[in-house]
Amino acid sequence: MAVLAAGLLAHLQASEHASAATESAGPPPNFLIILSDDQAQNSFKRRYMPHTFADVVDRGTRFRDGVAAPPLCCPDRAGILTGQYPHNHGVFSNDPGYPTLRDKGDTLPVWLRHAGYRTGFVGKFLNGYGRNVGAPPAPGFDSWFSFVGSPGYYDYNVSDQGRTRHFGSRRDDYSTNVFTRQAKAFLNRSEGSSTPFFLWLAYEAPHGWRSHISPCRRASSPAPPTKAAYDAFKHVPLPRPPDFNERNVSDKPRAIRDLPRLDGKAINRITNDWHCTLAAVRELDRGIGRVMGKLAASGQLQNTIVFYVSDNGNFFGEHRRPDGKSDVYEPSLNVPYAVKMPRVYRTGPRVDHSGAVVSNQDIDATIVDYANRFAGPVKTCASPGDCRRLDGRTIAPLVGSGGVWPVRRGVLDEINSGGHDYDAIRTPRFTYSELATGERELYDVKRDPYELHNRAGDPPYAGIQARLATRLGLLRRCSGIQGRDAPTARPFCE
């Protein structure tokens, strides 16, 4: 009955939005998701990404509290693909990754393809896809160009429409540039067409990957395109925020308390990783500039909604973590997040910045919403009766398109991977987590943005902790959004 109700609701929503679409003067929107890999906020700066800021951020809305839900590659990407949290889509870890995804044929590209969109994927898909499925395209994608086996910057294989190709160690084989060329080729094929497109462009940069280019040979070092690219950043100081090499970790969980303070040798390695990261990010930024330039030159920019987001952040010595992700701290959890919403799809002025808490699940919900408004109908169903309830919500109220956004919105982070096993809620004010070990963490991220003081168990915060624990308990089993979806026995995702 729940599935049938979801299907009926999806049909009603699609019909409602289709009616609105017929009254709209806007053309069917194109959608472009640009996803970076393991990019922290410290490299998401105008001085490192001038093209991305000029073409996306400055012409769109930058979200200060973009949350990776959760901060790990495969579960986060599954959230984009389905609009759901891990307890609903099934992916809690990178390993095995894609094989645990539920209803693999019921995803965003499938829905858009059924609605008449031309769909494409370029880059790094979900972990475990190539290893378990091989070269065939994932369900719903008309155009497919994705890693097969291990990803990388040089010396890797891709599936090009199901045909395996190898790229070696020549400068032209650098994956950031290869993916940029493929994205432009997809846009070339869309030029002049009345069929709207959906393109997901997922770069490897700036994920760490052992390189043949010195000195970025460590597994945690992203690969720059050339040694000269590295040299351009080798004198940039390593950021050392207050949580860098945190002195007092007595209030942290045992996994952090057991970490030694970083010595000079460790800090030098982190500094080197930082320089490799900036070199990889600069080439990523140039690629984004080329893709956006292609959209502008072809006349498609004014009706293309663009998302720029990272799948998770990365540590550079914060809380004594020399590298990595997955911990529920801001360097890992809080990611670059910007959306360019063309004027034709707004009902009000452009919003420069937003402090609302948004997540990767909201990308899916936003795309479905705008496709329904201006193209429609889009049903979140693989077939009648086989539908998904989206846990994310449309960001329309935050980008000048009207509507109401819940000011106390909480986002769920749940993960079970490689020693990281916790559930957490991130609100505009607090991050509260419950670890499988029984440990608890509570941070007032507005008063204590570097999370130096764990307030879990502090009497002045007892009431706040109790309320957040109750909300977290509801989020663990939530489904759908109140006011948009039909009620069920499960709580809404609020």
pLDDT in tens, 132-186: 999 999 999 999 999 999 999 999 999 999 999 999 999 999 999 999 999 999 9
144: part of which helix (H) or strand (E)? strand 143-148
Lowest mean pLDDT among 33-37, 209-213, 241-245, 368-372: 209-213
Mean pLDDT of 274-291: 98
Q: For residue 152, give Cα distances in angstroms to 167, 205, 391.
A: 10, 9, 32
* Range 138-148 burial, b when 16+ CB lie within 10 A, else e: bebbbbbbbbb
Beta-bridged to residue 157, according to DSSP, are 148, 166
Convert the pLDDT of each residue in 337-347 to its tens digit: 999 999 999 99
Distance CA(376)–CA(487), nearest Å, equals 24
Planar angle of CA 188, 193, 194, nearest 5 degrees: 150
Q: What is the pLDDT of residues 408-427, one digit of tens each?
A: 999 999 999 988 999 999 99
- Class (C level, CATH) for 2-404: alpha beta
pLDDT at 18: 39
Count of other CB atoms within 10 angstroms of residue 353: 11
Predicted local distance difference test score (pLDDT) of residue 24: 56
Residue 56: partners with Cβ closer than 8 Å, 6 or more residues away: 34, 288, 292, 306, 308, 338, 340
Q: What is the pLDDT of residue 26?
A: 84
Q: Is 254 exposed, middle or buried (0-12, 13-18, 19+ CB in 10 A)?
A: exposed
Q: For tokens 């003067």, what's the residue?
A: 25
Strand partners, 158: 147, 165
Provide the residue ranges of all domains of the chain, joining segments of one domain with +: 2-404
Report the b/e string of 270-298 with b at 16+ CB within 10 A: bbbbbbbbbbbbbbbbbbbbbbbebbeee
Distances (CA, A) of 329 to 147, 334, 350, 430: 30, 8, 31, 11
Q: Is the pLDDT of residue 23 over 80?
A: no
Question: Going by DSSP bridges, is the β-strand pair 304-310/197-202 parallel, antiparallel, or unpaired?
Answer: unpaired
pLDDT tens for 363-388 read 999 999 999 999 989 999 999 888 99
The percent of residues above 70 in pLDDT, for the chain, comes to 95
